[in-house]
Amino acid sequence: MSEGEGAPPVVIVRPETNVTSGTAVQEKLISAARAFADILKPTFGPRGLDKMLYKTDGTTAVTNDGAKIVAELMVRHPAAKAFVSLAESQENACGDGVTRTLLVAGELLVEADRLIRMGLHPLTIVDGYLAAMKVVEESIHELSKSIEDVEGDALLSVAKTALRGKSADQDLDSFATIISEATHQVTRETSEGLRSEAEDVSMYLLGRKGIKDSYLLRGIQVRRRVLLDRLEGERHNLRVAVIHGDLKARELHREAEIEVENPEQLSGFISQENERKVALAESLLRLDVGAIFVSGEVDRDILHHLVDEGVFVADGFDDSELRNLCNVTQAKLSSSIHHLASSDLGRAESLNCERRTATDRVEDEIVVIGGEGAKVVTIVVGGTEGVAAEEIVRGLHDALRSTTLATRTNSLLPGAGATHIRLAMMVRTAAEQRSDRAKLAMNAFARALDIVPATLVENAGGDSLDAILALRASSQKEQFFGIGIDGNVTAVPADVLHPTDTILNGIIGATETTCSLLRIDQVISARGD
């Protein structure tokens, strides 16, 4: 008997651990990708349908937004989690194009599966995909155009494209106009170029009237239970103070015991405290303050003294609201009411407080309109609250992300699947110059890009094969052809535009995620699934 014969095997994993190796790995990853793509595919494009999500807390959401759907899914498979990360990355970078990105990633894996079954090594596929992605990066800007080269309002076109297929397209022209105007309002020149951020546009759900009653406000609107009935009404041309703190007299923190021997001493202490409050209120009045917004609490005595002099006072504002108030009025955020100076004050063109019927909710509405230098605007969305209203707000925010991105980058591409078809042609042309097996992967990459127009056709009830063949033939022409709302091949209208970065980042992200999954040779599950 040789040394060690009959010795028990060395166990490095638990018995219930499941290890998948070989081609079964890719099959497992691709099946997860296909399942993910099948969930999202019906939601894509102007003819996409919605998903109803029933959450673990009992609430529901109705949406066709890819980022929202992915965020609500409780995924377990590692490939699915990679897709979740991809969706988050695309959403954070561009705010739109999540569904398109995930469809391309899923199709890249499906095409890779076909090549693996033909005998190609996964790393050969990775080499081909990366080569194709490089072609896309080098070629995509040839297809792009600047905002100045677009006929009409380019931002209006971008907004319309982003809103199509979402709940907000029931009043497409109106909402697109609001989005375009809002983007123009918050765009400003800096030393580093144009600054345009969607975060400078607030959303306010009115909770009444209808969708068609939505409008753009050059300022902010908030719900707050105002402190006194006398504060209701409209005021004009006010100096504004914004305070991150309380509106109170300074409190003494030194511990001491004071023995009061008679009522006169007690009255003296109370009188001194009141004098301190009056002095603070008078110091604010000398600054000619017309409105004060604070994050903390307001002393009632100081409040009444200020209101008696016509000053508007409101409390309980969070950090984002304080920041918006500063941007609207150009006030400087002060850390203390005691350090407030005249140079810290901003100016509001008007302030209106509307007192509403008392309920268990905060219903009073405060509207602050800034001057010409206002850096924040608000889109007031009409309609009752609920899942439908939430979906409209979500669609508007995605459109805002697209228009502000287009403004910053000044680069646009035609939509309707036209760009993906043209990029696929460029990849095929580059693949013809290769003589190695990576050529097969590059052609597979090109076929994967066809998933975008193919899905548009399918969701419109058309035949994707005929449409793709027609688009490939038209890709030789100078004019861009894509998929119309009816599912037919047509010349892409001038107002169907996406920011270049939305499409480019999506393709790059999809490629990198796919390549990272193709490099996996084993899936080890400690749960045994």
- CATH no. for residue 48? 1.10.560.10
Residue 44: per-residue pLDDT: 87
Query: For the chain, which ranges sit under pLDDT 50?
Result: 1, 528-529
State how far the Cα of 170 lies from the Cα of 494, in Å rounded to an integer: 21
State how far the Cα of 283 lies from the Cα of 302, in Å rounded to an integer: 11
| Domain match, 34 and 137 both | yes
State how far the Cα of 442 lies from the Cα of 430, in Å rounded to an integer: 8
| Domain match, 327 and 420 both | no
Q: Is 413 within 8 Å of 158 (Cβ atoms)?
A: no
- CATH no. for residue 227? 3.50.7.10
Position 10 in a domain? no
| Domain match, 266 and 130 both | no
Position 323 in a domain? yes
State how far the Cα of 473 lies from the Cα of 489, in Å rounded to an integer: 11
| Domain match, 280 and 134 both | no
Beta strands in 244-364 (DSSP E): 291-294, 312-314, 333-334, 346-354
Position 470 in a domain? yes
Domain-terminating residue out of 312, 347, 373? 373
Range of the domain at 395: 153-198+380-410
Position 428 in a domain? yes
In DSSP notation, 147-170 reads: GGGSSS-HHHHHHHHHHTTSGGGG
Q: Any residues with CB less than 8 A from the CB of 162 and at least 6 apart, and which?
A: 96, 395, 398, 399, 402, 403, 498
Position 9 in a domain? no
| Domain match, 227 and 342 both | yes
| Domain match, 282 and 305 both | yes
Residue 1: per-residue pLDDT: 46
Position 1 in a domain? no
Position 209 in a domain? no
Position 203 in a domain? no
Buried b (16+ CB within 10 A) or exposed e, 119-147: ebebebbbbbbbbbbebbeebbeebbbeb
> Please, what sign has the CA dihedral across residues 8, 13, 15, 18?
negative
| Domain match, 444 and 516 both | yes
Q: Based on the structure, what is the number of domains in the chain?
A: 3
